[in-house]
Structure 1
Amino acid sequence: MLTRFKRWQTNQPIKRKLIWVVMFVVTTTIISTFSFMFWIKTVQQRQDFVQTNMAWAKLVADFTVLPLVFEDVAAIEGHFGQLSKDSRLAYLKLTSPKKVFFKYDPQNIEAGLPDLTENQQWLLGDDYFHFQIAIHQDNQLVGTLRAALHLDELKQQQLRELQFMLLILLLAMLGSYGMARGLRRFIMSPISRLEQHTRRNAAKTHSTDLLLDAPKTNDEISRLYDSFNLLMRRIEQRESEILQFNSELESKVAQRTKELHAKSNELDNYFNSSLDLFCITDFHGYFLKVNPRWHDTLGYSDHELQRQPFFAFVHPDDQQRTQQAMAELRERLYLSNFVNRYRHHNDSYLWIEWSCIVKDQLIYAAARDISERKHAEEGLRLSNLVFQNSSEGMVVVNADNAILSVNPAFSMITGYSQDEVIGRDPKLLGSGSQETEFYRNMWQELNSTGHWQGEINNRHKNGQIYVEHLTINNVYDDLGKVIRRVGLFSDITEKKKSEKQIWYQANYDSLTELPNRRLFADRLQQEIRKAKREKYLMALLFLDLDRFKEVNDSYGHKIGDALLIEAAHRISQCVRESDTVSRLGGDEFTVILSEIIDISDVDRIAKAIIDALCQPYFFNTDHIFISASIGIALYPSDTTQEDDLVRFADQAMYAAKNKGRNGFCFFMPSMQEASQNRMLMLTHLHLAIQRQEFVVFYQPIIDLQSGAIYKAEALIRWQHPSQGLVSPADFIPIAEEHGLIHEIGQWVFHQVVDQFKDWQAQYQTHLQISVNVSPLQFQGLDNFVEEWLLYLQTAGIAPDNIIIEITEGVLLEANTKAMEKLFAFADNDMQIAIDDFGTGYSSLSYLTKFDIHFLKIDKSFVNNLTPESNDLTLIKAIIILAHQLGLKVIAEGVETELQRDLLQQMGCDFAQGYLYSKPLSAAEFTHFL
């Protein structure tokens, strides 16, 4: 429809168009003016409406503060009930953070009302004015007022304003139509005659009857007619002149066109066939024309190049420089030797060098691809950077071996500056330590392969010899002739020293400087191969220092280390230089005796080592005595395998320790069998702990004066699935050796406490149960004392119902942690008994230092007790000593009435043994009670 109206309007004569233009201008002006006034009025009305109602809402909110604070629902409902009668009100709601106090929504519009944000108080919609007001009291939010008002009144007011504007518009359109009709009559009709006459004359081939009668008026229209007639007369004159000039011009144009066409063909041929890049662009950056070389260089078609500005092809890092070059080109109108990078079709970048001129606001540019040159320059620059900054020395010589160039690292390593070596032979660095054969082989390999690499000793300018790792490469010309040699070297003197030191540290003990375990294994392997090849006897001695831990604990690790150094020296003095003495770790040493002719030589060396180590060690004012236990395994009589040889010697060493230490023992097959049995028992022992195969037996302890049972000793037994009951003497040492005694000790204590709890509940007994504690439990890091005391407290058993039995070794070897645990038992009323008293290194000072309650006389003294035996005197002395110190005495192993009577006569307090009862199970002991 709009298109048809435009076509109709275009075809109308100008007199009608003028009517439409006048009417349109007048009408548009009036409509715009009144529309703006109506808009201003509407905005003002809306603002007045919002301000009035928001003021009213805030006044309502102020009246609501106190009822909200005191939650006066009646006052709120009365107040808002009056407000709801207002016809403008469509929705009203008053809430507090806790509840809704009032809600008025007769038309159920709440769901359709929009939500207001936290910073938005009101919103003017199509049908409602919606607002919310936060009500505060002392800066605290006490409630929220939300409401919606009808917009009918505001809409009616705006409708009246619109009707008034439309009436004024109608009157304006009628006036504009009258004005347009007057213009048509007095102006447009004469102009129309002039237009029709001009059109008729323009349609004629020759100019005839060009003049037009003018209106008989003296106004602008009449003068326009006179000017028109004058123009027509001059047109007739010029027409003849133009025809003649046109003929001459056509002849000249034809000639010039022919010449330009020839020149254009010449330029196009050069433009299209040039090896350089030519293009024409505008200042907007678009290609207008490019020669085919662009396609060959960048890989884009004409369409791809002209579709986007050339900045799209420039490397991102070159964008700013290119923009600056464009600005310079605008000012100077030429630019030369500018370089940037352009993206190839395969996303790589090429270096392009430009020269440009500006003519007629177009840029005529010639460019060329200089990527190969840039890469070559970059390669040379990098090579020079590497040459100058390399930490390795570099030297370049010619075919005659004269130095051409050296880098700074060369001077730093050799001490010679560049000026001192240019033109000289590199042999000036020679140390003279290499044989002539070395250099002959080096040149032979270099000439045959073009490459040589190796280590060489050279001399610094200051005369110091250093070791360098040198690489030499030949450089050839196109005919294969050597023109240069390049040497690359680094000083590896410190590296060689470090490697030697690392090797020494990896293979030698840092304390004694003897071969360590790693080098020992290598030496042992070599000696076995040698012995096998030459068929001779070889012996391995495995040596362990006796009671070395006591030295460390008593004198400290510093004295212990000094003792190890001295012991290593003494062992080394007892063997030949061809033998190997090693320290495996701790206080363990090995000696490899090679090429043994007679087995008696092994005995002699072992005795010499034992005697040397038994001699006193002097440290400051202290004299320290230790001994050693040595195990010996022989190759090939005992084994031909190195691992077995070490293992057999170790087993023999343990056999020597079990014999009383300070001696040596040769390996025997029975030791291997015993070791296998121990490992098998260890495996079964682990399973026994998991399967709870242990049981606790109880042996009564009798009061010798009254015959009553006051005590019992808890004794663990192993209920082996196939072997039956296993004595603790068979498995406790293995458990102690492999760290299982802690777990077993915990289990025994818990079993005793749980059983005693049952007995106490049934019989209300005041019985005391003795629990044996291994010395290793006192030496361990676990704090079992607190756990035991807590377990007793949880079970409701008094600590003095449990007696802790320890051996004398615990007191003699007590360190700080062991002493803390003993004192912790005493401080919590748990009594302590010394088991097997008299069989060890008894010390009366320890009996007074620690809070001891009982001494248990070992059964070895009781077994042979008769009125005439020396044991009678010894036991009597122990009883008198204990009583003088306030201790009670328990005799173990009482089996006869004579033993009992003699103990009673000497005043012994308690006794236990088979005379009274063997160890009983818990059920049997319950019956015994």
Structure 2
Amino acid sequence: MQADRPGAAAPLSDEVGPALSGEVLQRVFLQSHEAVLVCDAANRIVAANPAFVRLTGYTLAEVAGQDPKFLASGRTDPLVYESMWQALQETGFWQGEIWDRRKDGSVFPKWVSISALRDAAGAILNYVASFTDVSESREAADRLVHLAYHDPLTHLPNRLAFESQLELALRTCERDNSQIALMLIDLDRFKNINDTLGHHVGDGLLRQVALRLRESVRASDIVARLGGDEFTVVLPDIDSALTAASVAGKLQRALAGSYQVGEHTLYATPSIGISVFPSDGRDGETMLRNADTAMYHAKNAGRDNYQFYAARMNEAAGERLQMENALRHAVSSITPTSSQFSLHFQPQMHIESGRIVGLEALARWNHPTLGQVPPTRFIAIAEETGLILPLGDWVFWESCRHVSALRKAGIADIRVAINISAQQLRHENLPFVVRGALACYDLQPSDIELEITESTAMQNPEVTLEILNQFSDMGIVLAIDDFGTGYSSLAYLKHLPIHRLKLDRSFVKDIETDINDKAICSATVALGHNLGLELVAEGVETLEQRDFLARLGCDVLQGFLYSKPMPAELVVDYLRGMAEPGVCAANAVPRQG
């Protein structure tokens, strides 16, 4: 009814119904909650009910005699009106959604039903329209659509919307023969924030990260949250990969500043992987997968950097996946009598007495087809995948079994050091595992030593302190491994119930020639002794290193100078041989200074 009327339609058959009085019909017209508008055959308004007045703001006097098209907002497609008039001509009825404008200028969507009333000869007498404001239902529908395509936390497009927008951008770039860059962004060590401060703090950080990302790129660029702490930025129509590199550096700087979330000042650095269309993939799935590969390469390169995808990364990712699958199978296949894993032991020599006082238990993996897999390769994968928990439990129980075997062989004064991972230390069952293994093999707490790395000690400090206190109260010796390689707080470390510091091999390696390594070793030994701790130096391979460390006052040495890690079956003979008169005295060096 809001456009010029075409010719009249053929008459329709009458429908028979109960007779209604004029009074009843008038009451229906006046009291209806739907707006009702009646027009004559020329589509001029002849009647409007109170609901129409309330909805539009116009009185009957203001609209009488006008064509209803004056209500049109301009937001309805002209084809809709054409379809409406065609339906009224052919069937005498039409319904659909139209946008109108109220007297105050505001626009609103209405759902309208229009009927053409005809006389007995089929000529149109009137048009009757009834309609309601559907703004609320439209808004509700829009909210549902928004929720379906947007992340509720950051309000960025979600994975579903991202995939759709990326495919559209790829088709456009393919048509225009241009390039597009996809960046996959992962926040470094974000899990630590959630674990220590709670998810509400982590959510606050993610909202601020999303805002910084959006503000750092063009309005035409796509920014989305894929889930967790993983975001993506798509740069359509770039000149070259150098443009992507420039934007990646800008994003690094934007995200590197501090964040204030409640009372907490936080820092979050990004690892960014970049793939470029068309060289790194011609479809969204391939580009995202390759950007993911590049992002993990950025993680392995030390985090807080960006890396472009290269085919060799895919090869490395494939090798890693093969290694992970093999590791999962090896861990799940461990039985009391069979395992691809074994323990080797490296002796620790007490400098002053020249005696072997301890052994460090080290896991080894001999795969049927991969052969001997270095610990530097499989331990990191075990930690990333969570396999370190079952593997670590096996190492602990197997170490205790070998300690029991030493005792039965008559070797009673050797303590075995067992490495504990960060995941094991966070697990509430660790104290029960330790007590259970000691009881099972009838061992004393003093028979073992637990080693944790410096970085592990700094994670979740309150939980770490509580668990280490339990072990110390039991009488277990505790050691900080790889000391000097992390970012520890000495104020915190002094409160830990530790007994030994292990000086990392990276400082010992060049101690004869590097004045910095000499200074670090000297300071660490002095610090440890001032705290009442025993100092153990790893990686000792030469007599010169041994002599220098002895002069510093280091207590215990460990390294190839004394023995490489040896299989468990050789340990008893080695220890008995070292205990023979005159054997270990040759390696002993009197303490000086």
Quick check: TM above 0.5? yes
Q: 1:104-119 residue pairs with structure 2 within 5 A?
A: none
CA 1:663–1:881 in structure 2 vs 1: closer, same or farther (change >3 Å)?
A: same
Matched-pair contact (CA < 8 Å) for 1:809–1:840: yes
CA 1:871–1:397 in structure 2 vs 1: closer, same or farther (change >3 Å)?
A: closer
State the Cα deviation string for residues 470-519 of structure 1 (Å, max 9, x = none): 23344667765557766454431011122222323333344444333222
SS at match of 1:578: coil
Instruction: Give the aligned partner of residue 528 of structure 1.
Output: 170
Matched-pair contact (CA < 8 Å) for 2:273–2:296: yes
Q: CA deviation at 1:793?
A: 2.6
1:596 matched to 2:235: no
Distance 1:415 1:795 in 2: 89
1:746 matched to 2:393: yes
1:804 matched to 2:466: no
Instruction: Give the aligned partner of residue 817 of structure 1.
Output: 463
The code of the aligned residue for 1:449 comes to T
CA 1:397–1:575 in structure 2 vs 1: closer, same or farther (change >3 Å)?
A: closer
Distance 2:363 2:263 in 1: 47
Instruction: Give the aligned partner of residue 890 of structure 1.
Output: 536
Q: CA deviation at 1:906?
A: 2.9
The code of the aligned residue for 2:433 comes to E
Distance 1:827 1:392 in 2: 78
CA 1:756–1:479 in structure 2 vs 1: closer, same or farther (change >3 Å)?
A: farther
Distance 1:668 1:462 in 2: 61
Matched-pair contact (CA < 8 Å) for 1:395–1:403: no
2:138 aligned to 474, 496, 508, which one?
A: 496
**TM-score, normalised via structure 2 length:** 0.81
1:577 aligned to 219, 224, 239, which one?
A: 219
SS at match of 2:416: strand
Q: CA deviation at 1:675?
A: 0.6
Q: CA deviation at 1:414?
A: 6.5
Q: CA deviation at 1:683?
A: 1.0
CA 1:618–1:687 in structure 2 vs 1: closer, same or farther (change >3 Å)?
A: closer
Distance 1:627 1:488 in 2: 59
Instruction: Give the aligned partner of residue 716 of structure 1.
Output: 363
Instruction: Give the aligned partner of residue 474 of structure 2.
Output: 828
Q: CA deviation at 1:644?
A: 1.4
Distance 1:763 1:426 in 2: 112
1:695 aligned to 339, 342, 350, which one?
A: 342
The code of the aligned residue for 1:713 comes to E
Distance 1:682 1:491 in 2: 59
Flag the structure with more relative contact order, 1 or 2, with Cα contacts below 8 A and sequence separation at least 6: 2
1:639 aligned to 264, 274, 281, which one?
A: 281
More helix by share: 1
Where does structure 1 lack aligned partners over 5 or more consecutive residues? 1-374
1:853 matched to 2:499: yes
CA 1:884–1:446 in structure 2 vs 1: closer, same or farther (change >3 Å)?
A: same
Q: How many residues align?
A: 547
Q: 1:49-128 residue pairs with structure 2 within 5 A?
A: none
SS at match of 2:244: helix
SS at match of 1:695: strand
CA 1:847–1:574 in structure 2 vs 1: closer, same or farther (change >3 Å)?
A: closer
Distance 1:436 1:748 in 2: 72
CA 1:461–1:526 in structure 2 vs 1: closer, same or farther (change >3 Å)?
A: closer
Matched-pair contact (CA < 8 Å) for 1:393–1:413: no
Q: 1:32-43 residue pairs with structure 2 within 5 A?
A: none
Distance 1:378 1:716 in 2: 95
Q: CA deviation at 1:834?
A: 0.7
Distance 1:889 1:773 in 2: 19
CA 1:850–1:703 in structure 2 vs 1: closer, same or farther (change >3 Å)?
A: same
Q: 1:264-663 residue pairs with structure 2 within 5 A?
A: 393=34, 395=36, 400=41, 431-434=71-74, 437=78, 439=81, 441-458=83-100, 465-474=107-116, 487=129, 489-549=131-191, 560-561=202-203, 563-617=205-259, 625-663=267-305
Distance 1:700 1:714 in 2: 9
Q: CA deviation at 1:925?
A: 1.7
SS at match of 2:279: coil
SS at match of 1:796: coil
Distance 2:460 2:467 in 1: 10
Instruction: Give the aligned partner of residue 920 of structure 1.
Output: 566
Instruction: Give the aligned partner of residue 734 of structure 1.
Output: 381
Matched-pair contact (CA < 8 Å) for 1:895–1:915: yes
Distance 2:19 2:413 in 1: 99
Which has the higher Rg, Structure 1 or Structure 2?
Answer: 1
Distance 1:896 1:436 in 2: 87
CA 1:883–1:815 in structure 2 vs 1: closer, same or farther (change >3 Å)?
A: closer
Q: CA deviation at 1:404?
A: 10
CA 1:498–1:928 in structure 2 vs 1: closer, same or farther (change >3 Å)?
A: same
Instruction: Give the aligned partner of residue 239 of structure 1.
Output: none
Instruction: Give the aligned partner of residue 213 of structure 1.
Output: none
Matched-pair contact (CA < 8 Å) for 2:37–2:52: no
Distance 1:867 1:609 in 2: 41
Instruction: Give the aligned partner of residue 757 of structure 1.
Output: 404
CA 1:844–1:425 in structure 2 vs 1: closer, same or farther (change >3 Å)?
A: same
Instruction: Give the aligned partner of residue 771 of structure 1.
Output: 418
CA-atom RMSD in angstroms: 3.8
Distance 1:391 1:793 in 2: 84
Greater Cα offset, 807-816 or 755-764:
755-764
Q: CA deviation at 1:740?
A: 1.3
The code of the aligned residue for 1:765 comes to A
SS at match of 1:751: helix
SS at match of 1:849: coil
Q: CA deviation at 1:923?
A: 1.6
Matched-pair contact (CA < 8 Å) for 1:392–1:488: no
SS at match of 1:494: helix
Distance 2:541 2:435 in 1: 35
Distance 2:194 2:327 in 1: 32
Distance 1:436 1:561 in 2: 42
Matched-pair contact (CA < 8 Å) for 1:393–1:408: no
SS at match of 1:763: coil
Instruction: Give the aligned partner of residue 788 of structure 1.
Output: 434
SS at match of 1:662: coil
1:671 matched to 2:309: no
Distance 2:469 2:480 in 1: 15
Instruction: Give the aligned partner of residue 8 of structure 2.
Output: none
Matched-pair contact (CA < 8 Å) for 2:37–2:130: no
Matched-pair contact (CA < 8 Å) for 1:702–1:711: yes
**TM-score, normalised via structure 1 length:** 0.53
SS at match of 2:372: strand
Instruction: Give the aligned partner of residue 44 of structure 1.
Output: none
Matched-pair contact (CA < 8 Å) for 2:431–2:467: yes
Distance 2:33 2:365 in 1: 73
Distance 1:867 1:468 in 2: 85
Identity %: 38
CA 1:674–1:684 in structure 2 vs 1: closer, same or farther (change >3 Å)?
A: same
Q: CA deviation at 1:432?
A: 3.2
Q: CA deviation at 1:892?
A: 1.2
SS at match of 1:607: helix
Instruction: Give the aligned partner of residue 279 of structure 1.
Output: none
Matched-pair contact (CA < 8 Å) for 2:37–2:128: yes
Matched-pair contact (CA < 8 Å) for 1:544–1:630: yes
1:863 matched to 2:540: no
Where does structure 2 lack aligned partners over 5 or more consecutive residues? 1-15, 335-339, 576-593
CA 1:553–1:743 in structure 2 vs 1: closer, same or farther (change >3 Å)?
A: closer
